């Protein structure tokens, strides 16, 4: 002991297990059991517990966690390590928010490109550092604004984009290299969306190496959760990885794929099973890329994830930590990655709570806590829901509050002073372990069921989601999961008349612009480019070069998607429930 007190580094034994040495652990376990029975148990016997404490992802939360709960389950250097180092549990970057806070991101879009451009300029003035364009449903589903299916939906839930001309207008006065990232969801349009953002840089005279495009481009989850699928899942995944493969060669600084948990979790799967489904999807994309001869070290850094947990604060933190650890080990152990960037998982998240329709201002508190949890979990890019987002496209006032909430979390309260501040919490480390086990167990089941395509085709993903959604609804109806103004102090839900509406004039403008572009473009060049896309599809070549040419020639998104539909067929909607 005297040697240790001299603090001679040669003599000090650094414990590798978190905070405790084995023998004392036994004593803590015994003491914990005693406390649980005698002290805590006594009060609970008299007064009872308020409610069942079960997380939305299905973990029974115990009254107290101690070092004994981590016994044999946590080796500090093996399982936690250090920020910016394998296995990245404590953070993807070495300096985390001390060097640069999470990227303050805005997801926005409505109407036509002209009106939406004004909104983007406002967002940038308010401090947004990244813009993810919300597209309307016709755009996302590959229909032009003048298509029969588009009739009532043009510009409704996002901005309508038909051709490159719309993109030019959308980013008029906003050089793409003045934001940290720019991009969109367009999960079923991967190569088209990629080509539009690549051609936009060309139009603005900005080299691809000087800006960063981010796409969600994760079509597989659409069949399970979100519903903008266009093609059958096999060809859809193939086209999605075309975008990744092209970027690895031409724009390795872009992030052309973000594999999503968010819609799967919010649809009902829960964050643990949702994470497993998303990982199964990621594995499918990665294996398609490896089969083409790509190296894991070249493609994995281009693939990010979009984790999601909205119900339980500490689960949110633990889920992000667990996912980073799982990703690092998966890349290293299953795929033999050696590039640290391939093992370092970058995450995009969307700060939510359980937003309610009644008394919408309360949603500011909910989304702030949800966002704080993501920040404490070390997310790389953070979006936040506006308080009125459950009702409609947010107005400027509510967007201002949302962006300011992100900025407050990034800069005030000392939230980002130290890295992974909840690391080492007995509870959070225990949750991280439990969640990791849960995700890996479900992932094994999905692997055994045949992987991502089987999960879709056999309806496994949708079943997991519907069962979860029914369970959630029951927890709300029974009051087991308290929800203020819904099942506790209930108030009548109300969708106010002030809910955002799209100016019909902007829809007219969109239709007029589409007609004008079609009339003025070089029709022969468009036809030739579309024919080349079809040949690339048929011959199993990467479609991005042909798509880029088509986009430059002002082919419409609908025309390009029609060429895919003609080649691959359309998806068949499931009528199971």
Partner 1 sequence: MSEKKRIRVLIAKVGLDGHDVGARVIARGLLDAGMEVIYTGLRRRPDQVVRAAIEEDVDWIGVSILSGAHGTLLPQLRKLLDEQGAHDIRIMAGGVIPQEDIPVLKSAGVDRVFLSGTPISEVVDYLMQETAHA
Contact between 233 and 571 under an 8 Å Cβ cutoff? The reply is: yes
538 contributes a contact to partner 1 by CB under 8 A: no
List the one residue from 477, 480, 503, 522 that touches partner 1 (CB under 8 A): 477
Q: Binding segment for partner 1 among 43-51, 491-499, 512-520, 542-550 (CB under 8 A)?
A: 491-499
Q: Which tokens belong to 504?
A: 């019909």
Q: Binding segment for partner 1 among 140-148, 238-246, 273-281, 412-420 (CB under 8 A)?
A: 140-148
Q: Binding segment for partner 1 among 8-16, 307-315, 396-404, 464-472 (CB under 8 A)?
A: 464-472
CB of 477 to partner 1, least distance (A): 5
469 contributes a contact to partner 1 by CB under 8 A: yes
Contact between 300 and 331 under an 8 Å Cβ cutoff? The reply is: yes
566 contributes a contact to partner 1 by CB under 8 A: no
Q: Binding segment for partner 1 among 32-40, 329-337, 390-398, 542-550 (CB under 8 A)?
A: 390-398
Closest CA to 305 of 329, 335, 336, 274: 274
190 contributes a contact to partner 1 by CB under 8 A: no
365 contributes a contact to partner 1 by CB under 8 A: no
List the one residue from 12, 44, 495, 538 that touches partner 1 (CB under 8 A): 495
Which residues, 6+ apart, have CB-to-CB distance to 341 below 8 Å?
297, 300, 301
CB of 260 to partner 1, least distance (A): 14
Binding to partner 1 by CB under 8 A, coded x per residue (else -) over 244-273, reads -----------------------xx-----
350 contributes a contact to partner 1 by CB under 8 A: no
Sheet holding 181-184: strands in order across? 213-215, 181-184, 130-133, 103-108, 381-384, 348-351
Alpha-carbon distances of 319 from 29, 61, 273, 296, 405, rounded to whole Å: 26, 15, 11, 24, 22
Alpha-carbon distances of 432 from 331, 404, 435, rounded to whole Å: 19, 30, 5
Closest CA to 564 of 238, 237, 245, 231: 231
Restricted to residues 214-243, the positions that interact with partner 1 (CB under 8 A) are: 222, 225-229
Distance CA 431, CA 446 (A): 22
CB of 323 to partner 1, least distance (A): 23
List the one residue from 124, 206, 290, 390 that touches partner 1 (CB under 8 A): 390
Cα angle: 440, vertex 441, 446; to 5 degrees = 90
Alpha-carbon distances of 350 from 40, 121, 288, 382, 383, rounded to whole Å: 37, 21, 28, 6, 4
Summarize as ranges the residues that interact with partner 1 (CB under 8 A): 137-138, 140-141, 143, 148-153, 156-157, 222, 225-229, 267-268, 356-357, 390-392, 465-466, 469-470, 473, 476-477, 486, 493-497, 499, 501-502, 573-577
């Amino acid at each position: 002991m005297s040697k240790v007190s001299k603090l001679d580094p040669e003599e000090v034994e650094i414990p590798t297990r978190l905070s405790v040495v084995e023998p004392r652990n036994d004593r803590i376990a015994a003491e914990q059991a005693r406390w649980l029975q005698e002290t805590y148990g006594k009060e609970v016997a008299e007064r009872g517990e308020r409610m069942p404490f079960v997380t939305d992802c299905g973990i029974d939360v115990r009254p107290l966690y101690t070092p004994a709960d981590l016994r044999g389950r946590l080796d500090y250097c093996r399982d936690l390590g250090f920020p910016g180092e394998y296995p990245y549990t404590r953070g993807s970057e070495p300096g985390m928010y001390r060097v640069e806070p999470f990227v303050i991101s805005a997801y926005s879009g409505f109407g036509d490109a002209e009106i939406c451009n004004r909104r983007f300029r406002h967002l940038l003035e308010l401090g947004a550092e990244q813009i993810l364009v919300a597209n309307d449903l016709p755009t996302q589903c590959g229909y032009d604004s003048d298509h029969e299916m588009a009739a009532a939906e043009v510009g409704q839930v996002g901005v309508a984009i038909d051709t490159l001309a719309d993109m030019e207008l959308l980013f008029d006065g906003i050089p793409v290299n003045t934001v940290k990232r720019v991009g969109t969801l367009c999960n079923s349009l991967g190569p088209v969306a990629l080509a539009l953002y690549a051609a936009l840089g060309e139009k603005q005279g900005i080299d691809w190496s000087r800006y960063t495009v981010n796409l969600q481009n994760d079509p597989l989850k659409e069949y399970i959760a979100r519903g903008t699928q266009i093609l059958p899942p096999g060809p859809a995944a193939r086209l999605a990885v075309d975008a990744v493969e092209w970027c690895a060669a031409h724009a390795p600084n872009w992030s052309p794929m973000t594999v999503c948990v968010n819609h799967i979790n919010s649809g009902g799967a829960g964050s643990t099973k949702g994470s497993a489904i998303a990982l199964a999807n990621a594995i499918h994309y990665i294996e398609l890329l490896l089969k083409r001869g790509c190296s894991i070290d070249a493609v994995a850094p281009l693939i990010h994830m979009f984790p999601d947990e909205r119900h339980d604060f500490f689960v949110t933190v633990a889920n992000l930590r667990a996912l980073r650890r799982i990703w690092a080990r998966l890349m290293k152990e299953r795929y033999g990655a050696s590039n640290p960037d391939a093992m370092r998982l970058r995450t995009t998240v969307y700060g939510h709570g359980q937003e309610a329709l009644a008394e919408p201002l309360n949603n500011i508190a909910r989304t702030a806590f949800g966002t704080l949890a993501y920040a404490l979990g070390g997310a790389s890019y953070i979006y936040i829901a506006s308080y009125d987002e459950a009702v409609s496209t947010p107005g400027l006032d509510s967007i201002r509050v949302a962006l300011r909430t992100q900025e407050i979390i990034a800069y005030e309260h000392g939230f980002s002073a130290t890295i992974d501040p909840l690391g080492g919490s007995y509870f959070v480390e225990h949750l991280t372990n439990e969640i990791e086990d849960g995700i890996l167990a479900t992932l094994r089941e999905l692997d055994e069921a045949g992987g991502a395509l089987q999960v879709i085709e056999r309806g496994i993903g949708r079943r997991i989601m519907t069962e979860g959604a029914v369970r959630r609804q029951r927890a709300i109806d029974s009051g087991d999961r308290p929800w203020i103004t819904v099942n506790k102090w209930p108030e009548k839900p109300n969708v106010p008349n002030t809910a955002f509406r799209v100016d019909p004039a902007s829809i007219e403008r969109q239709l007029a612009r589409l007609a004008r572009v079609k009339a003025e473009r070089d029709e022969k060049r468009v036809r030739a480019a579309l024919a080349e896309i079809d040949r690339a599809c048929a011959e199993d070549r990467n479609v991005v070069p042909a798509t880029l040419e088509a986009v430059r020639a002002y082919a419409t998104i609908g025309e390009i998607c029609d060429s895919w539909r003609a080649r691959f067929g359309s998806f068949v909607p499931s009528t199971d429930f």
